[in-house]
Amino acid sequence: MDIRPSTMADLAAVDAVLARTYPKLLKADYPPSVLVTALPIISRAQPALLKCGTYYVAEIGGAVVGAGGWTRDRGNAQLGHIRHVVSDDRVLRKGVGRALMRHSFEAARAAGITRMECWATRTAEPFYRAL
């Protein structure tokens, strides 16, 4: 698996992973009335993240199988935020998310970040707790 900074050229691939994976994974934790509103918003790649330099894609054989990263807090230079993490549902529990988070933590630490925050879906809370 290769992890590299994302670029705008990754937009379609990240969109595809988000659009395919989020509806499947979130279905168990949220009612349809919530998903109908939330999924169109959260299942799209965020261009600002793709070009920020601290958002990454994970690739296997050249195919994007995950994405995620971090950004620095605007008001606290030592605080970072985990951002829009996804692992393709076809490779869940294969270490993609963990590798993205390890890469993000190392890069954030090297940039002087001493604390990270994460706002997560109910579905993702066990994953973040395990980290």
User: Model confidence over 35-55: pLDDT tens digits?
Assistant: 999 999 999 999 999 999 999
Please report which confidence band the pLDDT of residue 22 belongs to, taking 50, 70 and 90 as the band edges: very high
Please report which confidence band the pLDDT of residue 20 belongs to, taking 50, 70 and 90 as the band edges: very high
Q: What stretches of the chain adopt beta strand conformation (E)?
A: 2-5, 55-60, 63-72, 79-87, 115-117
Tally of structural domains, the chain: 1
42 neighbors 23 (Cβ within 8 angstroms): no
Mean pLDDT taken over the chain: 96
CATH code of the domain in which 24 resides? 3.40.630.30
Please report which confidence band the pLDDT of residue 12 belongs to, taking 50, 70 and 90 as the band edges: very high
Q: What is the spatial distance between Cα 37 and Cα 49, in angstroms, rounded to a whole number?
A: 22
- pLDDT value of residue 117: 96
User: Model confidence over 62-89: pLDDT tens digits?
Assistant: 999 999 999 999 999 999 999 999 999 9
Q: Which residue range is the domain that position 11 belongs to? A: 2-130
